[in-house]
Amino acid sequence: MILVILWLIQDFLTVFAGGMQIPGLFMLGVVCKLLFNESSDGNLYLIWTAFAGGILWDLRWIGIPGFFTIGNVIVVLIVIQIWGAIPPQGRISGTGWLVFMLMSISQLIPPMLPVLILGGNTGWEFFLMRQAYSLPAILITMYFFNRKMKEKTV
């Protein structure tokens, strides 16, 4: 349910921003769910959730289904592989930079695919602005992630 709310917030912010790039709140939520997920059944659910969110975003804003969809699924698969390679005992401390990189990847890959495929001079400007606006969202998400990890270990 929280992922649907994040997708709607991201959509409303995009509507009200009037062309300004908005951070991918939906993908930050998916990555956080993946980082706290313990079972492989939940991973499959989150792959399909990222796929559905990407399709809806493509149909709503891009018009060509597939750009954000494939980017979202790639991000989910990268996070599953990298986070799954760390044993559960090692996830408690010392993974701050890794979590930051995984959340940054969630903001980097999906908007980069349309720019690379379609090209154009204005595409890079929008992409760079989106990255600049994504940094505060990543840092806020990191704060909540670290707080929840401390609660989990105590």
Total domains present in the chain:
1
The domain of 56 spans 2-17+24-153
Using one digit for the tens of pLDDT, what is the confidence trace for 126-140? 778 888 989 999 999
pLDDT (average), residues 104-122:
80
**What global pTM score does this model have?**
0.88
pLDDT at residue 25, rounded to an integer: 93
Percent of the chain with pLDDT over 90: 42
Least confident of 33-47, 58-72, 81-95, 117-131: 117-131
pLDDT at residue 121, rounded to an integer: 63
Using one digit for the tens of pLDDT, what is the confidence trace for 18-49? 767 788 999 999 999 998 887 777 789 999 99
Q: Give yes or no for a contact between 43 and 79, defined as CB atoms under 8 angstroms apart.
A: no
Nearest to 128 by CA among 147, 111, 140: 111
| Cα 80–chain centre separation | 13
pLDDT at residue 82, rounded to an integer: 92
CATH number for the domain harbouring residue 132? 1.10.1760
